[in-house]
Amino acid sequence: MRDPRELAGSWSSFQSHGFLPPSPALGHLVARYWWARWDLTGQPAYEQLIIPYPNVHLTFSALSGPMVRGVNRGRVRRVLSGRDAVLGVAFRPGVFRRYLGAAMDTVTDRSLPASAIFPDLAPYRVDALEPLLLAETVDAYLSSHLPPPDAVSDEVAGWVEAIAESSDLRRVDQLTARFGVRERQLQRLFAEYVGVSPKWVLRRFRLHEVTGRMEARTPIDWAALAADLGYADQSHLTRDFTNMFGEPPTSYAARY
C-alpha cells in the first residue's frame, strides 16, 4: 500500500526544503545550494522519491560525512528517519570534471566520500535544525579552491543549459545541428563531461515539463501535452514517464 504521507503534499508536515544561490565567484560552477530538514520523531521511516537531473551533488548531513554523488540515471529512494538535515551543492552539469580529474561517466550511478576530492571538508556536518549555517562556509571554501578553467567544459555546460531552456530541442539530431558536432563526438563529450548521454538529458528535461504542469495544479490535457513534447502519442509519454519515475503520470500527480 502507498504511504499516505506521499499524497497531496502531506510530506510537508514533517519536512521542509529550500534553495540558495551561490556567490558570484561560483556562478560558473555551482547551480544552487539546496537544503532539507525533517523530523519524523515518533513516526515510521519515510521513503523519499528522488528523480535525478544531470547535476553532480556535494552533500552534507547531520549524521554522516560529506559525499559526492554522481548523476543517477534512474530514480532513487532514500529512507528518512528520526530528525536530520542535509545541505547540498548542485554543480552545473558539465563542470564537475574539473574537480574529479576523470571522465564523469566513471562516477555515474555512484557516490564517493567527498574527502577523495575535497579533503578539507571531511569534518563538516550540518546542524539538524539549521542546515543553512554551513552554506556560507562551504561557499567560502569552494570560492578559495577554484579548479582550473576548461573551455570544453564550459561549452558542454552551455549545451546542457540550451537543452533545458529550449523547448524545440527534442532529438539528438537537432542537438548535432545546433551545436555543430557529429553524433559520435556529442556522445563522447557528454560521457566525459556530464556522465550521461545526450538522449538521457533530452528525455529528463522533457519530463521536467510534465512535472512542471503538475505543480501548477491545473487540469492537464495529456494527449495535447504529449504532442507538445514531441511524443508520438500519449501512451509513449506515459511509458517514458513511468520508466523514469516508477509510476504513471496520474499516480505521480497525486503527490501534489
pLDDT single digits (tens) 202-247:
999 999 989 988 888 888 899 999 998 888 899 999 999 999 999 9
Domain-by-domain residue ranges, the chain? 4-144, 151-253
Cell of 164: 533545458
Class of domain 151-253: mainly alpha
Query: For residue 94, is it left (φ>0), alpha (ψ between -120 and 50) or beta?
Result: left
How far apart (Å, rounded) are the C-alpha atoms in residues 170 and 228? 10
Q: What pLDDT shows up at residue 86?
A: 94
Write the CB contacts of 249 (distance below 8 Å, at least 6 apart in sequence): 210, 214, 222, 237, 238, 241, 242
Whether the predicted pLDDT of 256 surpasses 80: no
pLDDT at 63: 78
Task: List pLDDT tens digits, range 25-69.
Answer: 999 999 999 999 999 999 999 999 999 999 999 999 887 789 999
Q: What is the pLDDT of residue 83?
A: 92
- Tell the residue number behind the cell numbers 574529479, with chain if given: 100
Residue pair 44/213 in contact by the 8 Å Cβ criterion: no
The more confidently predicted of residues 163 and 65 is 163
Q: Are 4-144 and 151-253 equal in CATH topology?
A: no
The answer, yes or no, to whether residue 10 has pLDDT greater than 80, is: yes
Average of per-residue pLDDT values in the chain: 93
Q: Residue 30: its pLDDT value, please?
A: 98
Residue 122 pLDDT: 85
Q: How confident is the model at residue 140 (pLDDT cuts 50, 70, 90)?
A: very high
**Average of pLDDT values for 68-85?**
94
Backbone angles phi, psi at 63, to 5 degrees: -110, -15
Write out the CATH class of domain 4-144.
mainly beta
Alpha-carbon dihedral sign for residues 117, 94, 188, 199: positive
pLDDT on residue 163: 96
